[in-house]
Amino acid sequence: MTRVRFAPSPTGYLHIGGARTFIFNWLHARHQGGVVVLRIDDTDVERNTQTSLDSIYEGLQWLELGWDEFYRQSERLDLHRQAAWAIFEKGLAYRDFTPASATPENPTEGWLFNPGMRELSREESDRRADAGEPFVLRFRVPRDSRPEVVVTDLVYGVVSKATGDLEDFALLRSTGMPTYHMASCADDADLRITDILRGQEHLANTFKHVLIFEALGVEVPRMAHLPLLMAPDGAKLSKRVHGPVVSVTTYRDAGFLPHAFINFLSLVGWSPKNDREKLSRDELVELFSLDGINRSNATINFTDEEPFDPKALWLNAEHLRALDIDDLARQLVPYAHEAGFTNATPEKLRAIAPLIRERIRLLSEVGTVADFFFVEPKGYDPAELIPKKGDAAMAAEALRKSKEVLSTVPAFDHATLDEALRAAAEELSIKAGQMFQPIRVAVCGRKNSPPLFETLEVLGRDTVLTRLDFALGIV
């Protein structure tokens, strides 16, 4: 049984890199019919915050992928400590009494261990510990008996590191708290994690982890490291320097569909190798394979002006267009309210949805694309009313004529409107387009809009006539 885990630490917001790691884990597990474990790696008490934890839940819940088991490392500290001391008992770890301030002597030089501590006798070590002297528990890297540590990564292939280049890393801090390496491996072993998919920044840590797993006497899980997500400036994505664009909730708030967002992220660093781009969640589960994962970092393409990767936008638009009208209308409701359209009822949105479905890339764009369905367009420049190759007089004439026609037309539907308005244009000896533009601007407040007749139909005769009057007054 495949068991994977996603192990965020609540020291920051859930950003899209973390989300992608979760997605890949989820996809991998579901593809194999396995189990997804969510584990909060909160052993760094100093930096943990509740808001980070909330942000992680919020982001993860929005993805609608779910998980099967849940753990918090802070509730499993005894397990981690027991594991660490088991390693110590086997002689594979030792107490280091060097004060913390003295350890990082010179970070630019290869530090391996603090002098004198490795070879402390068990008796002396116990004695000093009993006397209350603080210490960290360090792993005793077997540099003499073993030339290198070899890992076969499912993405990066065989990678190895000389033990002579591996420092004696800490297992337990002087506070007794486990380090990330210790807690992570003890938990992975205890939770019987079979496949570890995580960011490539952990590739170098993997050698240490292999040593820990071996010391624990457990099988080393399969490893698959994922290429990192970078910002266009070449730096790793970070909330501090790149702003809210890296936060999952930003995508949610802008009106991404969760499965479109998942679709986008799944395609960065991974390829189904069949030129497919728009993929449903089920298709992703079926197609997902570690073979398709890349080894090089990928850049998310955003700018200050456009915070979302154009491809993410396009994919979202694709998924939006694939939604059925009722579903789309339902999803639009909160965004219409957010835009300030207090009169945006589900019924009205249901009527508008077909008109904007192919014109929005984000659900929030209902606010800019469909505004005139909810508020009177009055701020436009009267010059906009003037049709191409026409003048103000032509605009006024077209407006007057359309008012006359629209107030008497027998039905207010597409076919009737189409026929009546075209006939009116002919009567005035102007082109249909010259007839339509003043109406469009009067009714929508701008030159770009959904198709005119459908728009008029949704707006209704009274509203349309009122707006034509207003336009006539300013033209």
Partner RNA sequence: GGCGCUAUCGUCUAAGGGUUAGGACGGAGCCCUCUCAAGGCUCAAAUACGGGUUCGAAUCCCGUUAGCGCUACCA
Instruction: Return the residues of window 103-122 that contact RNA according to CB under 7 A.
Output: 103-104, 107-111
Choosing from 23, 92, 136, 420, the residue that interacts with RNA (CB under 7 A) is 136
Q: Least distance from C-beta 65 to RNA, angstroms? A: 20
Residue 359 main-chain phi, psi, to 5 deg: -120, 0
Which parts of 414-433 interact with RNA (CB under 7 A)?
432-433
Choice between 345 and 368, CB closer to RNA: 368
Alpha-carbon distance 475 to 464, whole Å? 16
Q: Which of 90, 122, 389, 447 binds RNA (CB under 7 A)?
A: 447
Q: Which of 64-72, 79-87, 228-236, 393-401 is the region at the interface with RNA (rule: CB under 7 A)? A: 228-236
Q: How far apart are CA 439 and CA 447, in angstroms?
A: 10
Task: Pick the closest to residue 457 from 402, 401, 411, 399 (CA basis).
Answer: 411
User: Is residue 228 near RNA by the rule CB under 7 A?
Assistant: yes
Residue (295 or 345) nearer to RNA, CB: 295
**Cβ closer to RNA: 301 or 337?**
301
Rounded Cα gap, residues 343 and 267, in angstroms: 39
Q: How far is the CB of 69 from RNA (least distance, A)?
A: 18
Closest contact distance (angstroms) between CB of 463 and RNA is: 17
Listed in order, strand segments (DSSP E) in 187-326 are 195-199, 222-226, 229-230, 298-299
Q: What is the DSSP string of 72-141?
A: EGGG-HHHHHHHHHHHHHTTSEEEE-S-GGGS-S-TTS-----TTTTT--HHHHHHHHHTT---EEEE--
User: Is 239 annotated as catalytic?
Assistant: yes
Residues 346-405 binding RNA (CB under 7 A) are 358-359
State the DSSP string of 359-420.
T-SSGGGHHHHSGGGTS----S-GGGGSPTT--HHHHHHHHHHHHHHHHH-S--SHHHHHHH
Give residue for tokens 């009546």.
420
Q: How far is the CB of 268 from RNA (least distance, A)?
A: 4
Query: Looking at 139-147, 154-162, 252-260, 399-407, which segment touches RNA (CB under 7 A)?
Result: 154-162
Query: Binding residue for RNA (CB under 7 A) from 25, 52, 55, 98?
Result: 98
Which of residues 112 and 346 has its CB atom nearest to RNA in the complex?
112
Instruction: Look at residues 459, 52, 466 and name the one whose alpha carbon lies nearest to residue 249.
Output: 52
Sign of CA dihedral 4, 64, 243, 20: positive
Q: Which of 32, 74, 163, 205 binds RNA (CB under 7 A)?
A: 205
Q: x/- string (CB under 7 A) for RNA, residues 158-187?
A: -xxxx--x-x-xx--xxx-x-xxx-xx---
Out of 33, 115, 132, 157, the only residue in the binding site for RNA (CB under 7 A) is 157
Q: Of these, 143, 236, 337, 461, which contacts RNA (CB under 7 A)?
A: 236
Does residue number 128 form part of the binding site for RNA (CB under 7 A)?
Answer: no
With beta carbons less than 8 A apart as the criterion, state whether 301 and 309 touch: yes
* Residue 253, phi then psi, degrees to nearest 5: -65, -30
Q: Closer CB to RNA, residue 384 or residue 397? A: 384
Q: Which of residues 296-355 bind RNA (CB under 7 A)?
A: 296-301, 309-311, 313-314, 317-318, 321
- Residue 201 binding RNA, by CB under 7 A: yes
Choosing from 269, 390, 438, 445, the residue that interacts with RNA (CB under 7 A) is 269
Q: Give the shortest CB-173-to-RNA separation in angstroms.
A: 3
Give the C-alpha separation, 341 to 305, whole Å: 25
Task: Tell me the HSE value of 255 on the side-chain side, using a 13 A CA sphere.
Answer: 24
Question: Of residues 437, 438, 467, 475, which one binds RNA by CB under 7 A?
Answer: 437
Report the distance separating Cα 200 and Cα 274, nearest Å: 25
How far is residue 457's CA from residue 166's CA, in Å, rounded to a whole number?
73
Beginning with the edge strand found earlier in the chain, give each strand of the sheet holding 69-72 in spatial order.
69-72, 35-40, 3-6, 195-199, 222-226, 148-153, 157-162
Minimum distance, C-beta of residue 409 to RNA, in the bound complex (Å):
16
Angle between helices 206-216 and 180-190 (to 10 degrees): 50
- CB 396 to RNA: min, Å: 19
Candidates 11, 249, 289, 331; binder of RNA (CB under 7 A) is 11
Q: Which is nearer to RNA, 250 or 263 (CB)?
A: 263
What is the total count of residues that contact RNA (CB under 7 A)? 91
| Torsion angle defined by CA atoms of residues 351, 356, 362 and 367, in that order, rounded to the nearest 10 degrees | -70
Find the binding residues for RNA in span 19-78 (CB under 7 A): 41, 43-44, 47
- Eight-state DSSP code of residue 247: B
Whether 424 and 408 have beta carbons less than 8 Å apart is answered as: no
Of 129, 124, 137, 199, which Cα lies nearest the Cα of 168? 137
* Residue 185 or 339 with smaller CB distance to RNA: 185
Question: Could you say which of 239, 278, 348, 431 is catalytic?
Answer: 239
Q: Which is nearer to RNA, 73 or 250 (CB)?
A: 73
> Judged by CB, which is closer to RNA: 34, or 227?
227
The residues carrying an active-site annotation are 239
